[in-house]
Every structure is written in structure tokens, then in C-alpha cells.
Amino acid sequence: SGVVIVNKDVAHTFADLKAKKIGVVKGTLHQHYLRNKQKAVQAIPYDDVASALAALKAGEITGVMSDFATLDAWQQENPDYAIMDERATDPAYYGKQYAIAVRKDDPELLNAINDALTAVMATPDFQQMQQKWFK
């Protein structure tokens, strides 16, 4: 999913970012998401996340949109900033949010994992958790 990091208490939702400048890495899904789905937000492109975060610290932009792992690690070192409550989870941009790596030379393991995931995802418990935590 895509997340936005901002100064604490500046914004909690994308609606709070109306007409605000949000840094993104050029050509990423985050840039396309903001331009297509959050048109009231100004997507400001940067060559890399570090440049966007430097612009945020300098007060040139209101926030930075990137992946959670990157921004969470940065936020731990910069506690004056917070990750916004609302996240971008549109499957058209961010897929289903799951990934498992398997060696190319182990198709049996890949098939076993795929079969297990398919079975779990078909259960009512999984559907309820999906609705509760990810919608």
C-alpha cells in the first residue's frame, strides 16, 4: 500500500491534503495514484525518496508518499513526523498486497503455497479479517 508521512497532526486522510504538495518518486505507482485518484493533491516528483524526505524536512512540501516499510523506518528516526491514518490500497494500483518468494527451481513448494493460500482465502474467517482490517 502507499502511505503518506507528514508533520504530526497535519493530516489524517487524503481529504486533509487537498491542494497540498506531496512528494513522490518519479514514475512510481504512488505518483500515478495521486494524479489519477487524489486529483486535489499536488504530486511533486523527485528522483528518489531521500530527496523527497529532505524536501519535507526543509518545509518545501507537506508530505511524502511511498511504501510503508521505507517511511516507517524513516519515521522511527524522525518522531516529529507521523504516517497518515488513511492508506492507498486501491488494488488497481497496489495489487492484493501479498508476496511470497520461492526459489525458481522448486515448483512443488510454489504449488503447495499457492494451494494453501487459496484454501485459506476461501474461508469465512479470512473474509471477515479482510473486511475488518483491510477495507
Please give the C-alpha separations between residue 91 and each of 29, 95, 101, 114, in angstroms, as whole numbers: 11, 4, 20, 19
One domain, residues 60 and 114: no
One domain, residues 76 and 127: no
One domain, residues 63 and 8: yes
Q: Which residue range(s) make up the domain with 33?
A: 2-94
Q: What is the value of pTM for the model shown?
A: 0.71
One domain, residues 89 and 103: no
- Cβ–Cβ under 8 Å, residues 18 and 40: yes
One domain, residues 59 and 122: no
Domain count, the chain: 2
One domain, residues 56 and 21: yes
**Domain containing 74 — which CATH number?**
3.40.190.10
One domain, residues 102 and 65: no
- Cβ–Cβ under 8 Å, residues 88 and 1: yes
Question: How confident is the prediction along the chain (135 residues), in pLDDT tens digits per residue?
Answer: 678 888 887 889 999 999 999 999 999 999 999 999 999 999 999 999 999 999 999 999 999 999 988 899 999 999 999 999 898 888 888 876 667 889 999 999 999 998 998 898 888 888 888 777 765
For every residue of the chain, DSSP letters joined together read -EEEEEETTS-SSGGGGTT-EEEEETTSHHHHHHHHH-TTSEEEEESSHHHHHHHHHTTSSSEEEEEHHHHHHHHHH-TTEEE-S--B--HHHHTTS------TT-HHHHHHHHHHHHHHHTSHHHHHHHHHHH-
Pairwise CA distance, residues 24 & 44, whole Å: 6
One domain, residues 82 and 122: no
For residue 134, the model assigns a pLDDT of 64
